[in-house]
Structure formats: C-alpha cells, structure tokens
Structure 1
C-alpha cells in the first residue's frame, strides 16, 4: 500500500504542475481576450466567473508547486466554485454565442475540474457531466436549435471532452506503470538483499565447518595412522563429541519453527544412538535465538552428552527474558565455566553425576 501511494503521489504531483500551467495559459492566453472583447448579457457576472476560476488556479498552484496532494476541503470547495463559475459564465451568454468563441467557460472549466479531481476519476466524470448538462440545458432552454448549431456544439464538446479525458487516462496509465516499476525495483532490491544474506550465511557456515573440521581431522588422522586406540575411553569420548558437534552443525542448517530445540534434539539423538538413555523435556514457548547464541548454548550440552555413560537428562526452560539448558549425566567431565559473555555456563560433579546449566539472558531493547 505504501508503494502504491508513493507512485500515485509522484505521478499526480507531476501532472498537477502541468495542469496548473495549462489552466493558466488557457485562461489568460485564450479566454481573456474574448471575455474582454465580447458583449455579454451580464458583463459583471462573466468577469466574476473568470476571476473565480483564476483564484482556483492560484490556490491550487500553492500545493502543486510543492508537489503535495490537494487537501480534501480545497478539492470540495474548489469543485463547487468551478461548477458555479461554469453556470454563471454560461448564463451570461446569448443563444447565438453558445459553443462559439464567446463561450470561453465551456472549454476552460473542464481543465480546472481536471486539476482538482485528477486523483478522483469517478468524481471528475460526475462533475464534468454536470458541467456538460448545464451547457446543454441552457442551450435547449433558449429554444430548439437548428442542425448547424447542434453540429457545431457537438464538435466543440467532443473535441474538448476527448482531450480532457485523454489526460485523465494517460495519468492513470502512467500511475500504473510507475507502480509496476517501483514494485519491480523493490523486488530486485529484496532479491539482492537475500542473495547477500545467503552469501554471508554461507561464509559463516564455511568458517564454522572449518573450525569443527580443524578439530576433527587430527582425530581421524590419529585413528587412520593407528596412533589412537579406538578401544580407549578417551578416544571414544573424543569421537562421540566430534559426532555430536557435526550432527548439531548439520541441524543448524535445517529450516524449522524452533531451531534451538531442533539442535538440542540432534545432540540427544547422537547420544541415544550410542546407547545412552536420555530424558528430554522442554518448557515454555519458542522464542527467537541468534545462531551464535544457539551454538554457545548447545556447546556444553555436546560436551556433557558425549561423556555420558548410560543415562542423561536434558531440560530446556524458556521464559520471557531468559533461556536455560540444564544437563545431568552419569559422567565426569571438565567443562570450563563461561562468564562475561552472552552465555554463562555453570557446572559441578556430585556423586559421579555431572550437573551443567547454560544460561542466556536476553537484553532489553
């Protein structure tokens, strides 16, 4: 809706500047001479109608040159003044002067209506119809015109109204084309932003993968060279930790409604495949968590589950301002507490059970 309004404002502002110039040129360049030289039944009334139309143009010029839309009160009042001027100007004409050179109000009024009602197509058609019917009724009220008069009146009316309607149609076409151009440009910008975001994400993922592979490759090389014994508990723990880290990393790429729980579930799945009985509980509604924070929250979980021997319990607790992940596992492990960062980690070993909690407190905006 915002894009459409911007396109409408741009087209209407440009067209109103053109129409202000056209109305001024037509009134003072073509209509002033017949108004001053022709004889009217009520000369003062014709002059009043001319001045009223000039005032409408002058008032509209203030908004048009600033490229601002006309206020509703100005549009309503100006339309009433223009239609009144149309009636007064036509009423001053003698029957033989109608649709002739002296009938300057007939062709001029339509341009003022177009200036006022450029963005109100139906109202413009209604006001233009009232203007035409007023002239026709005054023509017929003076008696039945002859065929020559009817032909001349029809030619003048057709030529004048056709040009004014053509301006309205051109304006609507330009507005639609501008809307399409703006929509296409913004879609192109959105596509460029998505491509840039995808490139940045891919670069970040490559860095993360490189970091994990940097710690995994020595383990694989040691196993391949026979330097590490697969039966050794330390080697098994390192393999379990590497497998859990990679599985969590793969889960990070998935498009899911709740990425944090999805990544923790991936860690639990690897532990269960090793034969560990894991109890997993989640409380609270899903909240958005940045990817880097999710990595810091799940990294202690990876460590705790990779050293679990047979049983573990994982709990994810989510509140409005804080997220906690707690792990209890029947294992001993060294997990360095983290302080001063985004995620704080606390741990302790009690009766052969590792108790660990990773906590992230959301910052208030």
Structure 2
C-alpha cells in the first residue's frame, strides 16, 4: 500500500493547530487568573501559591512539548493526577465565602489545564476528567459549606462558564480530530485503490509482453511445421521445440507465488527435459534474494537452452554466496559455445566450456551491482 504523505501531513498539522489553540487559551486564562491580584484574601496563602505554581509548571512543560511536537506519553496520567491534586489543594483550603467567587481562581483554570493535558484524547476522557474537577468543588461545598440554596444556585451559574467552556472546546476538538482521522483514512483508502489499479495495469502489461514473446517465438515454428518446412523428425527441430516449451513453462511460472522464483522456473525447464527421458539433478546451495524479472530471465535463458540439448543426463546448481548468484548447468553432450544464447543484460555474465563428451555453462549475476 502506498500512503500519500500530504494526507498524513495535513492531519498532523490540523491536530497540532488544535493543540496549540487550546494551549494558547489555557495560557491566557492562567495569565488572567485572580490569584496574583488577590493574594491578600487567601489565608493561608501557601496552598494557593503551590497549586498555581504546579499548574504553571505543567503549562510550561506543554509549551516545550508543543514546540518539539511531542506528546505527553506515559507522563500524561501522572500530570492529570497532579493537576486534580493541585485543584483539590486550592479549593479545599479556601475560606467558605470565597468558593465560586472571583477569588476561586482554580475553579476556572483547572479545566483548561486538564484540556491541555488531554490533547488528542477521546471525548469520553475529557468529559470524565472535567467532571472529576467539578466534583472536587461540589464535594468541598457539601462537606465544609456553605450549602444554602442561594449559594448553590450561584455555584451552578458559575459552573456554566468555568466548566461549560472547556467542555465545548473539548467537544469541538474531538469532533475536528475525528473529521481529520476520517479524512486521512479516506485518503489512504483512495491511495490503496490507486495502487491496486496501478499494480493491475502493470500485471496486465507484463502478461501482454509475456504472451507477445511467446507468440513471436512459437508461431514461426508452428507455421513451419504446418506447411512442412520443418520436420518433427529432425533432432534440431525437436530440440528447438523443447527449448520453446521450457521457455513457455518458465514464462508461465513467473506469475506463480513461490518463495524462490528462479529455482521454480528452472524446475519447469527440468521437468520438460525429464519428460524426454533426461535425468536432471537440481541442487540449490546458499541463499539469495529473488532477482528482478529481467535478471531472472537472463539467468534462466541459457540453462533452458542447454537442457534442451541434453541426451541422457544433466545437472543444475544454483549457488548464492558472497554477493553473487550463479546458475551452473552440465549436460552429457557437446555443443558449440557460439550457439549458446548470450544474456543481453548488464551485470549478468556467462561462461561456456565444452569437450567431446559434455558441456558446462555458468551464468553469473553480481547481486550488489
């Protein structure tokens, strides 16, 4: 599958922009928090300063991570726990008449800090953590008061803004993230379809070329046999037919799904020779990658031709070692070296040795070239 980089890049940019926007809002809320302006109303002061300092540090860490485009990762859960702990410290140390007032800075700030830490997370997690933050304040009211009707109504009114705005931002962020992910998935699916179409076109073109080669090689022989120009009793004609049959088997074998395509194609040629009564021994030695299609054809062409000239016995060795892949073929009869077809591919070399009783051929491909 081919993934279009533009789709992933656009999605990452959108999510990064959403994260930056939420962080900017949180920084603005922290900068406008009432604590620095109302230090004198808090007794004791240290819980408020400690909680405010913790959230400021978390915001600074987020700015660093955002600049480096890195997530919180495994530190997200500890940071969320520390944020809720700081919120509880600030809320539970407030005097009763300051709860849900302008002095209660943590009630309006903690939700945005949580939203920053939950950037990129699902909406369920955002709602759960914001609910936990609201529970901290509600439990404080139930336990320490005040809990009269007027105060409860004021608390609910204040909660609409302090909790509602982060919730709305979290919903918008989650929706936009889902849209981005769906757009990315749709883009990948489209790229996958285009890839499949391209592969199908390449396979069709390869098959068309393969059948074209078979047609060009076989048709003249069949026509000559039909009109009597060639006689099947001629040994040379039989060898030519056998070579073309082995070649056809090799071309058809190129589409087979096998671990070692070269050895598989050589086995097809050996099978044709064995049908003629030739004992063929095939031995692969070592290891090698599947050669490209043109290289595989160049490695198999001369061995196939030589097998068609074997009388009673032949041996094939495929050796892969030291960055080389070699095909050795020995047959039990002599042939003229100049008659052996030469590979017409750079990087593939061939040697032929013959005597009065046998012929040996080596076709060599340098894998690393």
Q: Same fold (TM over 0.5)?
A: yes
Distance 1:222 1:139, change over 3 A: same
Query: What is residue 358 of structure 2 aligned with on the other side?
Result: 353
Is the 1:328–1:356 Cα contact (8 Å) retained in structure 2?
yes
Where do residues 1-365 of structure 1 align in structure 2 (5 Å cutoff)? 10-23=13-26, 40=41, 59=60, 62=63, 66=67, 68-69=69-70, 84=86, 87-88=89-90, 91=93, 95=97, 97-100=98-101, 103-119=104-120, 128=130, 131-132=133-134, 134-136=136-138, 138-140=140-142, 143-157=145-159, 160-285=162-287, 287-333=289-335, 334-335=339-340, 341-363=346-368
Distance 1:91 1:305, change over 3 A: same
Residue range with higher mean Cα deviation, 168-177 or 48-57: 48-57
Residue range with higher mean Cα deviation, 166-175 or 58-67: 58-67
Q: Secondary structure at the match of 2:186?
A: helix
Name the CA distance, whole Å, in 2 between partners of 1:331 and 1:292: 29
Is the 1:313–1:329 Cα contact (8 Å) retained in structure 2?
yes
Name the CA distance, whole Å, in 2 between partners of 1:188 and 1:220: 47
Q: Secondary structure at the match of 1:307?
A: coil
1:347 Cα deviation (Å)?
Answer: 1.5
**Unpaired segments of 5 or more residues in structure 2?**
none
Is the 2:273–2:308 Cα contact (8 Å) retained in structure 1?
yes
Name the CA distance, whole Å, in 1 between partners of 2:344 and 2:193: 40
Aligned length: 360
Name the CA distance, whole Å, in 2 between partners of 1:8 and 1:53: 32
Q: Secondary structure at the match of 1:312?
A: strand
Q: Secondary structure at the match of 2:304?
A: helix
TM-score, length-normalised on structure 1?
Answer: 0.77
Name the CA distance, whole Å, in 2 between partners of 1:353 and 1:362: 29
Name the CA distance, whole Å, in 2 between partners of 1:347 and 1:111: 80
- Alignment RMSD (CA, Å): 4.3
1:115 Cα deviation (Å)?
Answer: 2.2
1:265 Cα deviation (Å)?
Answer: 0.6
Is the 2:83–2:114 Cα contact (8 Å) retained in structure 1?
no
Name the CA distance, whole Å, in 1 between partners of 2:228 and 2:358: 32
Name the CA distance, whole Å, in 2 between partners of 1:229 and 1:200: 39
TM-score, length-normalised on structure 2?
Answer: 0.76
1:290 Cα deviation (Å)?
Answer: 1.3
1:304 Cα deviation (Å)?
Answer: 0.7
Is the 1:35–1:46 Cα contact (8 Å) retained in structure 2?
no
Q: Secondary structure at the match of 2:201?
A: helix
Is the 1:328–1:354 Cα contact (8 Å) retained in structure 2?
yes
Is the 1:23–1:57 Cα contact (8 Å) retained in structure 2?
no
Residues 188-216 of structure 1 show CA distances to partners (whole Å, capped at 9, x for unaligned) of: 32332343234234324433432342232
1:220 Cα deviation (Å)?
Answer: 1.7
1:270 Cα deviation (Å)?
Answer: 1.2
Residues 81-125 of structure 1 show CA distances to partners (whole Å, capped at 9, x for unaligned) of: 896478558756551x43245545422331133224424679877
Name the CA distance, whole Å, in 1 between partners of 2:112 and 2:219: 80
Residue range with higher mean Cα deviation, 352-361 or 76-85: 76-85
